[in-house]
Structure 1
Amino acid sequence: MSGKLKIRQALKECLRKFILPAAYHIYCIRYSGPDQRLIVFADAHHQKFPEDMQLLKEEMQRRGYRTLELVHDFSEISFGTSVKSMLSFLKYYAQAGLVVICDYYLPVISVKKRKVTKVVQLWHACGAYKKFGYDARDDLISVKDQNMFRNFDLVAVSSEHCRKVYADAFHLPLDKVQALGVSRTDRYFSEKFMADCCSRFFKEYPEAAGKKIILWAPTFRQNAGEGILFGAEAIDRLEERLSPEWFVIRKVHPHLEKRMAASNCRIPTEQLYAAADLLITDYSSVIFDFTLTGKPILVYAPDREQYEKERGFYLKLEELPAKVVTNGEELAAVIERGEYKTTSEKYGEFMKNQLQMCDGHATSRIADYIESIRKE
């Protein structure tokens, strides 16, 4: 861990242990009780409102709830500004009947919240692929003395198979994790959404018309604060080798996009699946979203053994609905020979195990469940 990151972690620890709990206590005294019709959607990792929470926000608004968005990318603003944002959140944390997040969010876990205020975690990844939470050393590099997820009343996951994995990774009782589906994935079942995504892509990249589209979407290595890109050289060689009938989209993880010019496309990743004919990824959870399209997937995993040792997986790569390759030469040869498709049986088994509840109706199920726990 770099010196800069160590300083940032020390400051966050001071906030978590002293400043944020004190501020929340004051706000709870000021505001006698939460407004059960107010929902706060909060995030510290995006500049714009996250797609992971958009459909649920719209659904809750349709049901008559008032919503408030508190979204800032803490990595892009000063430490002082991020502290102000956290304090602003705590003011509404003390007033809201429900808080919805989709990633780690320090202010949520730093206090002993009111029991009547419910916290819903719409985790940003489907399924259970690479290890996370308390199962991964790089995921939680601070916060040793309390459960980072103790305030969660609901974690919505993509299948029954995933419930225990998430409960263990978050150190939560199993009943706090429910197989309701992942709200974001409802969009992939909308013909209009997928058609609009295709239209936007070919409008912005007309040179791709009539070609086979490869989407390269890798995850990062190490922790999010110091993540590095892996595999770009192989993609460079692949582009040089492939015939002109192919068009390669490079879309790296958002944490990496903030620090390097490695993507060649401005469109959000989830809006590229409709146009792509083939996904190349590694250990990224995009593999789950893309599986819902039924299109072929290649897993390029040259550092598989090292990654498994340092991070670890919940499943074997052979269980994925994808062909796994471990070097750049094999990657190019498989594409050239058209050997990248997998069997429908393998897709079906993977869908059953990992994406059982991603059926286009996840958002309404999550909203129904929220309304049921609000009455507790």
Structure 2
Amino acid sequence: MIKKWILPLYLWAHRLMMKVCWNLFIHFPLDRHKVVFSNFNGGGYGDNPKFIAQEFLRRNCGWKLYWVSASDYDLPEGLTPVRPNTIAFAWHMATAGTWVDDTRKLYYFKKRPGQYYIQTWHGGLGLKKVEKDCEEALSKEYVAYAKIDSRNMDLLLACCRWESESYREAFWYDGPILEKGIPKNDIYFEDPAPYIRKVHQHFGLPEGTKLALYAPTYRDSRKTDMYNLDYSQLLATLEKRFGGSWAVLVRMHPNVSYKDYPLTYTDRILNASPYENMQELLVASDIIISDYSGCAFDFPMIGKPGFLYAEDYEEMKRTKDYYFRLEDLPFTLALTNEQLMEQIKHFDENDYQKKCQEFCHMLGFYDNGHASEAVVDLIMQKMDV
């Protein structure tokens, strides 16, 4: 009986402590040259905030840069870790001139006049509907603090014209949108060779090994029983269709622990979930297989083959629905392993490239490799006024 009350009591006390600290710290001076970056509330050094932080470091401008870090990540010099949901975290968030986040903020956040809150979002362009566009599938609690969060946001980033138009409605948001691309896409405009070598060396793969990246997104239930890709069959099919020696990188979404996904890894089926940077994996991979993840929509921009494999496609359509019709996508969709293998066998490179060009034109991409620079320019302009 006592144990039953310990956790709720602890959570209540912690929440109270954070609120008290936050409401105290907001009365201290605001440091306009302090930035706090957060990726999934401490879920690793990555996504859009990473590339913005790197641009700050490249400029060596002397600003105070903090990274919300739930574990002992290897952060570059100049970026100071701070544990999420601690007194130190509340202090830095309450006194920082700028916040850069890729997920929603929770219950106790209190934005001050003069603070600049940039929401980079983590999904970007994708197949399944999000936020207000699927409000009936979200919890009332989430919707409530999402609306509060949107009222506090000062800037959203968009990778394309389609995203700019959809964000205002989907995010309960009527503020500015920076139409310069998104920072994590800057890497696609760099020389890929160093990243390819880095990924191969990290996984101990021979030079020339071709890579298939399997990167499904998460379900609200956090279940993984729909991740039934037949890896052995996939490897055989890829080698038959494209030639060469292949390996599969398996990358779970940050909201799904790869430890909960029952898979026996080998020297050709590799656990890429702990790898720090998703974009480096995308650059190094030769094809991608996903379901509703936004990462599949990166490949038309860089011209690599992409395939959708989603056993629960119809279920997701009923609960959240989709932004695009299948016939509008350059990808094929497979509901079973058998369908996926047939689609890979009959993949038409010329037809795919043509569809990718048409799709990119329809969306109106803004990306040109300088999104991180544009964001940092804007922050420095706002904070030095």
TM-score, normalising length: structure 2: 0.79
Measured in 2, the distance between the counterparts of 1:200 and 1:337 equals 31
- Shifted more, 46-55 versus 159-168: the winner is 46-55
Q: Is the 8 A contact 2:39 2:49 kept in 1?
A: no
Residue 362 of structure 1: CA displacement? 0.8
User: What SS does structure 2 have at the residue aligned with 1:232?
Assistant: coil
Structure 2: tracts of 5 or more residues without a match:
1-5, 72-81
Aligned counterpart, 1:202: 200
Is 1:154 aligned to 2:163, yes or no? Answer: no
Work out the percentage of aligned pairs sharing the same amino acid.
23
Q: Is the 8 A contact 2:126 2:292 kept in 1?
A: no
User: What SS does structure 1 have at the residue aligned with 2:285?
Assistant: coil
Is 1:265 aligned to 2:271, yes or no? Answer: yes
Aligned counterpart, 2:365: 356
Measured in 1, the distance between the counterparts of 2:166 and 2:259 equals 30
Aligned counterpart, 2:37: 41
Q: Is the 8 A contact 2:127 2:322 kept in 1?
A: yes
Aligned counterpart, 2:113: 115
Residue 243 of structure 1: CA displacement? 4.7
User: What SS does structure 1 have at the residue aligned with 2:68?
Assistant: strand
Residue 234 of structure 1: CA displacement? 4.0
Is 1:186 aligned to 2:166, yes or no? Answer: no
Aligned counterpart, 2:94: 94
CA 1:345 to 1:11, structure 2 compared with 1: closer, same or farther past 3 Å? farther
Aligned counterpart, 1:302: 311
Q: Which amino acid aligns with 1:104?
A: R
TM-score, normalising length: structure 1: 0.80
Residue 260 of structure 1: CA displacement? 2.7
Measured in 2, the distance between the counterparts of 1:218 and 1:210 equals 25
Deviation track 1:158-177 (CA, whole Å, cap 9, x = no partner) reads 1222123222222111x333
- Shifted more, 111-120 versus 350-359: the winner is 350-359
Aligned counterpart, 2:216: 218
Measured in 1, the distance between the counterparts of 2:172 and 2:36 equals 24
CA 1:373 to 1:205, structure 2 compared with 1: closer, same or farther past 3 Å? closer
Task: Describe how 1:214-363 pairs up with structure 2 within 5 A.
Answer: 214-223=212-221, 226-239=222-235, 243=239, 245=244, 247-249=246-248, 250-254=250-254, 255-260=256-261, 262=263, 264-266=270-272, 267=275, 268-339=277-348, 342-354=351-363, 356-363=365-372
- Shifted more, 118-127 versus 62-71: the winner is 62-71
Q: Is the 8 A contact 2:46 2:278 kept in 1?
A: no
User: What SS does structure 2 have at the residue aligned with 1:68?
Assistant: strand
Measured in 1, the distance between the counterparts of 2:53 and 2:307 equals 34
Q: Which amino acid aligns with 2:87?
A: L
Measured in 2, the distance between the counterparts of 1:69 and 1:98 equals 12
Q: RMSD between aligned alpha carbons?
A: 3.3
Residue 311 of structure 1: CA displacement? 2.0
Deviation track 1:43-93 (CA, whole Å, cap 9, x = no partner) reads 4454532242222113234144221222226xxxxxxxx997343222112
Among 66, 69, 73, the alignment partner of 2:64 is 66
Q: Is the 8 A contact 1:296 1:342 kept in 2?
A: no
User: What SS does structure 1 have at the residue aligned with 2:26?
Assistant: helix
CA 1:216 to 1:42, structure 2 compared with 1: closer, same or farther past 3 Å? closer
Q: Is the 8 A contact 1:38 1:66 kept in 2?
A: yes
